[in-house]
Structure 1
Amino acid sequence: MDKIDLSEVCQHYRARVIRITPLDDCYLLETNRGPKELHVWPRVDVMRWSFAWRERLARQGFRAVERFIRTRDTKPFLVVGKRGVTMTDHVRHIEACEPRAELARSCGRVIGMMHLSQQESPLLSGADYLKQEQIAADAKWTRTKAFAEAFRSKHGREPGEKRWVAELMQPMLQRMERSSAMLSHESVAPDTVSVSHRELQRDNWGMVKGELYLRGFFRPALSVQQRDVASFLRDHYLTHKDIGQIDAFLDGYEEVKPLSYGDYILLLAFMARPREVYRSIEAYTKRVAGKEEASVKAIEQALRIQESVDQLLQHIAYRAEQSRREGVHEPL
């Protein structure tokens, strides 16, 4: 937890602090005005950006989001040294969201509203973050190609599990290369790409008094909005295996913020990364290189996950083709 003078910070707020409890990502304050959370932001520009989109989202009509409490001087945040500090209400009773299509559609609408609010801010450049994603994807593909070629040259002809793993590397590399190429697809216009959180999670959702509640994003890793959506849909589908809920989310999202063909290309690019397969194969090769006992069970599990992801990819690709009107005519 960042070291700051909490007593001095709390004096800027009207609430009288009774007790302070450090948590993993914030300080929980018991005050005469109810429980509050005090968050420390490593980047002041991200804090300012976060304040702006929360306020715009509230003005759009969705107020069930953690908003910054103003200080005695009516400031929405404090700057302490090179860090930012914000206070929000702490909600004690947040229930998990029950999976159903109607709720998924509502979630889609809210995220569409959030993304519209975020793209209005000039503080952060979506094109810069897209470029970072392109560079990172190219670099990872290059590194993976090198360790794959080294493993295949040494173990590719050995019988048994090592040869099987070596044979899996080519399709893994093809997926990574395809994902990297799609990030630079000609239908993607960098100047239309906006910044959001790197990965929207299930933990960002809850139900408070029967109403949908959006929470978190206080120490966000940032990327482009399409990665935000892709990570959520991928995780949601792997959890519930319900294409209907995927469609409901995207339908709700597009009611507020229609997706272009280029947007769908980026969704596919982020979803297509063979995350579990890559991690399990990399871990296996490291154990082999270290002459440790290596099992392929994790790889087998990763391949089963990839089968489910492929079902999702096929469906998103179908929606992409349906959305296309003019421009690119090559199949996905």
Structure 2
Amino acid sequence: MKPHEEILRSHLEGYPFMIQEVKQAETGWYALTDRGKKRIIYCPDENLLRWSHRWREYLADQGVRQVERYLTTKQREHWISVSVGCYALSDYWEQDTTWFTHPFLQKEGYQVLGETLARIHECFESIEEVYRGRYRKKGILNETRLKNSYRHLHAAMKEMEKETMNATNKWLLYNLFRVAERVKKAEALYRASGVENDQTPLSFAYFPLSSLVYWEEAWYITGLHNPVLVPRHEDTLSILEQIHETGGKEGVRVFLSAYAGRRSMPIRERNYLLALLSYPLPVFSRLENISVFVEEKERMGIDFQLQIRREHLLQCVLETQELCGEASG
């Protein structure tokens, strides 16, 4: 037996079932036990695991039983703490992507995702304790990034002034002016959201659709064990982008409708979501490094295409705003 397997087995002795074998797969470690296959979760930050445990138990208390929860030890604890973090076990479901391509399951899956995310956000409504560990990040938008965005745009435009104004460069300069307009719009919405004043609860930086699994005619929420935490609704943004790509405008509508059916999105949060959608992130991936911009500006067309796709998503969301309560200003 390999040393790492021995260490894992020793940590798992506190569980009330027999560990028959410990194995490693592409998605991580798992244990074969006398009660079936179990996922082994390692988290270096116990407070992060506690945050994760909280929303899982909240969903279970709300009647959502098909959620990957942390199994209890012989001492009725939900994880085992060690010097380098903590270990937990859960029931094992493989992450799944096949339901994305099935028309009926696709729509039902988007609905389940909307309701589930709303419940997770709902879980942290009245909790004053805030996670401030190393897995907390500022997120996509903050005051520093917005200020730097104008600086990057100014630098790019100055570089363009050195170039011959042929048709390609005129097109590029025109689009850079449009990018500046998008930044101003995102900045106004960001300030209206109050996120800079730490008024928005934390949530996932990214929520993969593959965390939703369809198995034996039931939906299961899996994974999401060691997330990076950022101000709420970057997870909403990530889901919307994935749904827009796989399910189009109708998929976006189904998801937002399901979310709103469970939880009305306050105007501050809605402003932040719209700010995230308005900010031209695809373009700044290249603009933030002026040397890269100079060398690869002919590839900016790809970035603008990605930005157009995001603007289409923004329009889809705006058209379904009435599903989320009061209109945003």
User: TM-score with structure 1 length normalisation?
Assistant: 0.82
* Partner residue, 2:58: 56
In the alignment, what sits opposite 1:217?
A: 224
- Higher mean displacement: 220-229 or 89-98: 89-98
For residues 86 and 93 of structure 1, what CA distance do their matches in structure 2 show? 18
Q: Which residue of 2 aligns with 1:77?
A: 79
Deviates more, 1:245-254 or 1:110-119: 110-119
One-letter code aligned to 1:152? M
How many residues are treated as equivalent by the alignment?
317
2:238 aligned with 1:236: no
Please say if residues 141 and 173 of structure 1, whose CA atoms lie closer than 8 Å, have aligned partners that are also in contact: no
CA contact (8 A) 1:94 1:206 kept: yes
Match of residue 176 from structure 1? 183
* Paired amino acid for 2:206: E
Deviation, 1:83, is 1.4
Deviations, residues 91-137 of structure 1 (Å, cap 9, x unaligned) = 258463235434322321122122222334443269xx999348x53
For residue 173 of structure 1, report the CA deviation from its aligned partner.
3.3
CA deviations on 1:191-249 (whole Å, 9 max, x unpaired) are: 863222122221221211122221111110112332221221122113332x2221211
User: Which residue in the other structure is 1:246 paired with?
Assistant: 252
- Aligned-residue offset at 1:87: 0.9
Q: Answer yes or no: is 1:32 the counterpart of 2:37.
A: no
Distance 2:171 2:82 in 1: 55
State the Cα RMSD in Å.
3.2
Indicate conservation of the 8 Å contact 1:43/1:83, yes or no: yes
1:309 aligns with 2:315: no
Distance of aligned partners of 1:325 and 1:31 in 2 relative to their CA distance in 1, 3 Å threshold: closer
Structure 2: distance between partners of 1:26 and 1:199: 19
Change (3 A) 1:153 1:38: same
Structure 2, unaligned runs of 5 or more:
none
Distance 1:121 1:54, change over 3 A: farther
Runs of 5+ unmatched residues, structure 1:
none
Describe the SS at the equivalent of 1:62.
Answer: coil
**Cα distance, 1:282 vs structure 2:** 4.5
- Matched to 2:15, the amino acid is Y
1:152-191 to structure 2, matched below 5 A, reads: 152-159=157-164, 160=166, 161=168, 164-185=171-192
Is the Cα–Cα contact under 8 Å of residues 230 and 268 in structure 1 kept in the other structure? Answer: no
Letter in 1 for 2:54: A
Identity %: 19
Equivalent residues in 2 for 1:1-332, closer than 5 Å:
5-23=7-25, 26-92=28-94, 94=96, 96-97=98-99, 98-99=102-103, 100-124=106-130, 132-133=138-139, 136-159=141-164, 160=166, 161=168, 164-185=171-192, 193-241=200-248, 243-282=249-288, 285-287=290-292, 294=296, 296-297=298-299, 299-320=300-321, 325=326, 331=329
How far apart are 1:55 and its partner, in Å?
0.8
Asked if the contact 1:44–1:83 (Cα under 8 Å) also holds between the matched residues in 2, the reply is yes
- TM-aligned CA deviation for residue 186 of structure 1: 6.1
TM-superposed deviation, 1:39: 1.2
Query: 2:237–2:273: 8 Å Cα contact kept in structure 1?
Result: yes
Secondary structure in 1 matching 2:150: helix
- When structure 1 is superposed on structure 2, of 76-85 and 88-97 the one drifting more is 88-97
- Could you tell me how far 1:288 is from its partner in structure 2? 5.6
SS at match of 2:67: coil
Per the alignment, do residues 130 and 183 of structure 1 end up closer, same or farther by CA in structure 2, a change over 3 Å counting?
Answer: farther
Given that residues 189 and 262 in structure 1 are in contact (C-alpha distance below 8 angstroms), is that contact kept between their aligned partners in structure 2?
A: no
Instruction: Output the CA distance in 2 between the equivalents of 1:239 and 1:325.
Output: 28
